[in-house]
Structure formats: C-alpha cells, structure tokens
Structure 1
Amino acid sequence: MATRRGDWSRLDETDVRVRPGKGSRPRSKRRPEHADAVSGMVVGKDRGRWTCAVDRDPGHLIVAMRARELGRTPVVIGDQVDLVGDTSGAPDTLARIVRVGERASVLRRTADDTDTFERVVVANAEQLLIVCALADPPPRTGFIDRCLVAAFAGGLEPVLCLTKADLADPADLLASYAELDLPAVVTRSDMDPGELRARLNDRVSALVGHSGVGKSTLVNRLVPDADRAIGRVSGVGKGRHTSTSAVALPLPDGGWVVDTPGIRSFGLAHIKPDDIVAAFEEFVAPAEECPSGCGHLGPPEDPDCYLDTTVEEGAATPGRLTSLRRLLASRGTDD
C-alpha cells in the first residue's frame, strides 16, 4: 500500500535507506593471495617505480609499482618481492608489487646521531664492503668503525676494502683491525681486482664509502658495462641513477653489487650498545651482568662494567675488548 505524502506514521527504520559515506564503509583486512605471483629482487628505484629482476635474472627486468593493499610498506633495494600483472618486461609495461619478503639482513643509517628516523639503505645483502682509500683522501677509521657497527647490527658480514695501495702501505691500518678477524682485500689502480671479484662472486654485496675513495672505479672494473646496466636498471620514465640513490648491478660471473651513494656521515642513532656487543660472542653473557643502562665503555664512563672481568678471567683478550669499546665509542664520533 502506497503511503500518502506527509503520512509518516506508517514508516519505521526499515523503510529508510541510508547511503554510507566513504569513511564508514567496512574494509576487509584480508589481502588477496596472488598465488600466480612471480618472485623478484628489487634492483632499482625511481619516482615511485621499482625495477625488479625476476628470479634474480639480470636479463629479465620489469618495472613495478607498489600495490594499493601494501599501503606505505617500504620497498628498498635488495628486497625480495612478489609481483603480479604484466611481468614480461616488455617496454611500457607495469607490474605490481603485492608482497615484500622477510629481510635476512638490513643496512640502516640515520642522517646523524640526533636523527630518530632510520633509513634502510639495502636489504638482504650478505656482506658489506667498506671501501676506504689508503691515501688521497687519507683513511678515516671513525667512518670504518661506524660501518662495522652498522654491519654487525644489521646481520651483514663486513669486509674491509682498501684502495690505492700503490700510494700508501696498508700494513698499519690492517694492524689496527687485526683483533676483529675482519676480512680485508687490498686493491691497486694498476692491478686487476681479482681477489675482490672472487669474494663477491655469487653473493649480494653492498658497497659503502666516502666520495673519492675509488668506489665508482671499483664498480666500473667489476661490472664492465656498469653505465649501460645502470641505465637499464634505473632509467624508468625520465629518471636516471644519480649519486643520491642505490642501485644493484649484476656481476658477469654471478652475484650482485649494490652501489650506494657516497656517504658523508653514517648516523647510528638507531643502534644500542647491546646491538654491537652481540657481534662479540665472548662478551654477550658477561654484558648481561652489567648494571642497567651500562654503555660497556668501562671506567670512567661505566665504572661497574662487567666486561673487564671477562678479560681478567682469561675468557677474552684485551685486544678484543679494546676493539669492541672502540666500536662502541664510534657512536659518538665520525672522524
């Protein structure tokens, strides 16, 4: 029976249709499974687009955007991702990143030691190559120490790479890191970096270093067509790889090197003392006996630090403790 205009007494709430606003519509938290997704490694980024190597194959590069369901999930160089859509890699095609895999390692830094915002530089790298010139410019041990701290805290194996050995003797610098059992490779401008090439083979390695230490020269020698490879990896749209972004480049004999931008400072605001101690197995248990808030630097900063007892009991060498404390102190200096 039709209701006459103005006769509202016959109506109840079941007769009223309310159109929900955009903010009140229910949203499902379930994400699509994408069982047909293919796996890839992120090797470049430019302007909200990521270049991915399908199954780590440098010959199968595709450009992808982040799927809406990922929201603001960060995607960085080295991430293992799942991709759907057009994964052919044909020109002007675009796939979607629908999942980001769990990271086995992360290289993080902050802008400085007062910055609370962590920046993930590289994910899933197996080793961190700390490139340092022996001369022109002179080596900066404070920077090396900070990179070691970041590597230990992030789960990467650090490797010291000393360049320009034709200009200075590496003996003194190598001796200062002897107690850390740190792998080291020495290169010269007049010799092929064969030893370094063998260490990088079939692995994912990140390279860090100050501008001018010879990092770009090394990359060009390790990846003969590096300029062309960079263009393929990060020449998305009108973009182009610059010194402000990282890029992963395939090695001719297998493996990848991640060329990071020249870094002036390596902030460690996100790293706690116990993150560093964790890399020194013999000091992990003794550190648990230290008072709360102990920085493990020893007297006078931390007079009740228990790590000295470990050395006194012969469970660790004085050199190892000195090296550990030097790394701990590096959180406050970048010299």
Structure 2
Amino acid sequence: MSGRYDHLDESSVRERPSRRGTRPRTKDRPSHEDAVVGMVTGVDRGRYTVRVEDRTVSAMRAREMGRTRVVVGDRAGMVGDTSGDEGTLARIVRIEERDTVLRRSADDSDTVERIIVANADQLVIVTALADPEPRARMVDRCLVAAYDAGLDPLLVLTKADLADPDLFLRHYRALEVPHVVSRSDGDSGELDPAGVDEVRAHLVGRTSVLVGHSGVGKSTLVNALVPFADRATGAVNAVTGRGRHTSTSAVALELPDGGWVVDTPGVRSFGLGHVDPDTFIEHFEDLLPGTEDCPRGCSHDEPDCGLDAWVASGRAGPAGPERLESLRRLLRSRTGDERS
C-alpha cells in the first residue's frame, strides 16, 4: 500500500539544528603551569587555609579535582586570586605528590583508610601517665601507623608529676623510641618549661603530627610550643576517666624557630585495618635475618617461628628477647589478640 511519503528519500529529510556548540569535546585539562603552590594548614567545611610564603590564602577545591581529597599538610597548586587579601578566594587545581601519608581506619575490620595528614616526617605520640591512665595498646598502634607511613616516632609522656614514667617506659626501651617526660604544676596546670624545651628541640625544622587520647594534655602542649595558638583545653571526666574532645579539626601551626606541628582531634581508637602485618618485621632489621628459617606464611607469632631459635642463639644481640617480644606485641595490637 502506497503512502503519502513514498516519494521522499533521505535527502529530503531536514535535520533539526543542534543547540550545542560544534566544537568537539576534549578530555584535555588545563596544565595550570602558573599555579601557586602552598601548604594546606587548615580544612573547614569545604574551605581550605593555605600558607604561601609570607601570606595566608583562602581557597576552595576546583571541580576538576573530582573526588581528590585535600588534607592538612598537602602541597596544593592554586589559581585565581592568591593574594591573600580579605574576601578573596583561590581555587585548588591539583595536589602535588605526597612524600608521606599518615592514615588510620575506623577499626581493624575496616580497610578504608582515612588520611590524617600528608607530608609529615615525625609522629609525636602524647600520652598521660595518669588522669587518664596510660593505654599502652594505643601507643603500640600509633607506633605501627608511624612505621607504616615512614614517620619517625617520638613518645611524649605528660603528667609525670602524678606517676613514675619508668614503669611505662620499660615496654619501649627495646624499640629505642625516643621519649620526653613532661611534668606540670598541680596548681596552675602549666607545663614544666624544661620539658617543653626538650620537646621543642625534637620538633625544630620538622613537620610533626601530634596524636593522643583526649585529655592527655596535647592541646596544652601545643599552646606552650606555639605562642598565640590558643588551642582549647579540657578536663578529664571523673566518672569515665576519659577526656573531652577539645580540638575538632586538624590544624598546622608554625613553630617560632622553624618547623610545623599539626594538632589533631583527640582519638579513642586508632584502626589499623589498612596496614599489612607482614610488613612489621621490616622495621626490625636485627630480627629480619632470622625469618629465613620461618615456615611459609609464618606470622612471626606462632610456635614454629624461626625467630625464637635466632634470638636464642644470641645472633640478634643482647636485646633480642625484648625486641622479639616488642615485635609480637605490635603484631597482636593489629590482630586484636588480647595478649598484647
């Protein structure tokens, strides 16, 4: 059956003009070779504080960054108004390659890592010797995170006026972790200047991250190290024995004599779900040769582990037994074994 349109062919069909431009799409992105690079010192609800030489720039993340997360310590490339004048806003268009990344997970079963800070080179683990009671398990976990991230650990023990530090320190002597003991005035709460100066000597010229439970005196220490830091401090709950969160976000503060300290919110857990326990032995170079006699898949904390014979032979040195026990304690802190 013939129709009314049988006489038409393809050349008779008129195409509706496109409303879109005719310029072809491209996946190329601007190189932003003129981007100004600065250090991210603060993050607050989608706004970033970036230090560029002698000025502070406010910035937002550009759409082209996608889901790339920007954290304190990042070296960020910015375009737009980077003058730092009041009311101006730059755009972060890229993050430079990170030298180090300190991570933690929500718990040991969660392999999703949460970046705490980038480009630091030292992890300062702050713990009180009393009020609240020290938690060696937390310190062990922070040490594992430091070793995994390639950061040098420093142990700062506060409130030494309330308890003897020697009992706690004996767990870490075999690890040769440097430490500073800090005392405070019971009446005023002010820190002993000598202890503050000793901590400061470890921080000069470095980028250091301070972590610890709430109430251990971390913000008090920061206020003593950095004039006008004005970090909020809080007391320990007499019922729970835990401190109240006073720092709500990480912030990088410049030290008067050079270097940076990153104060982080107090934590009550430090998940290590993102850390591979098989890498722990790499941080014990004196024990590493002894693993050659270990059975395949050895966890280094089992009856047939070759490290026992290696240490018993004396080839690991006089500190071998304590070093081996320290290794196994760190392994148990990752696996949740209560023997730790």
Residue 156 of structure 1, aligned match among 132, 135, 151? 151
* Alignment equivalent of 1:63, drawn from 58, 61, 69: 58
Match of 2:28 among 30, 38, 44: 30
Stretches of structure 1 that go unaligned for 5 or more consecutive residues are 230-240
Q: What is the 5 A alignment of 1:108-257?
A: 108-190=103-185, 191-192=192-193, 193-227=196-230, 243-257=247-261
Distance (whole Å) between structure 2 residues aligned to residue 287 and residue 34 of structure 1: 49
Residues 1:247 and 1:8: Cα distance change in structure 2 (over 3 Å): farther
Q: Distance in 2 between matches of 1:52 and 1:295?
A: 44
Q: How many aligned positions are there?
A: 310
Question: What is the DSSP-based 3-state SS (H/G/I as helix, E as strand, rest coil) of the residue aligned with 1:179?
Answer: coil
The whole-number CA distance in structure 1 between the counterparts of 2:217 and 2:66 is 39
Structure 2: distance between partners of 1:289 and 1:18: 76
8 Å Cα contact 2:220-2:231 kept in structure 1: no
Provide the alpha-carbon RMSD of the alignment.
2.8
* Counterpart Cα distance in 2 of 1:6 and 1:289: 87
Per the alignment, residue 308 of structure 1 pairs with 308
Greater per-residue helix proportion: 1
* 2:198 match: secondary structure: helix
Question: 1:200–1:255: 8 Å Cα contact kept in structure 2?
Answer: yes
The Cα of 1:33 is off from its aligned counterpart by: 1.6
Distance 1:213 1:10, change over 3 A: closer
Shift of 1:125: 0.8
> The residue matched to 1:180 in structure 2 has which SS?
coil
Counterpart of 1:168 in structure 2: which amino acid? Answer: A
Secondary structure of the structure 2 residue equivalent to 1:162: strand
What's the offset of the Cα at 1:20?
Answer: 9.1
1:76/1:292 CA distance change after superposition, 3 Å: farther
Give the C-alpha shift of residue 285 in structure 1: 5.0
Q: How much identity, in percent, do the aligned residues show?
A: 60
Name which of 297, 302, 325 aligns with 2:328. 325
* Corresponding residue SS for 1:11: helix
Cα shift at 1:31:
2.6
Range 101-110 or range 311-320, more displaced = 311-320
Specify the alignment match of 1:47 in structure 2: 45
Cα distance in 1 for residues equivalent to 2:25 and 2:290? 50
Q: Provide the secondary structure at the position in 2 that maps to 1:53.
A: strand
Q: 1:295 aligns with which of 299, 316, 339?
A: 299
Partner of 2:268: 264
SS of residue matched to 2:262: strand
Shift of 1:112: 1.2
How far apart, CA to CA, are the structure 2 residues paired with 1:20 and 1:324?
67
- TM-score normalised to the size of structure 1? 0.84
Q: TM-score, normalised by structure 2?
A: 0.83
Matches of 1:123 and 1:309, distance apart in 2: 40
Instruction: Work out the CA distance in 2 between the residues paired with 1:212 and 1:79.
Output: 28
CA contact (8 A) 1:298 1:308 kept: no
Q: In the TM superposition, what is the alpha-carbon distance from 1:326 to its structure 2 partner? A: 0.6
Cα pair distance change 1:155/1:7, threshold 3 Å: farther
- CA displacement 1:200-250 (0-9 Å, x = unmatched): 112110000101111111011111201289xxxxxxxxxxx9633211111
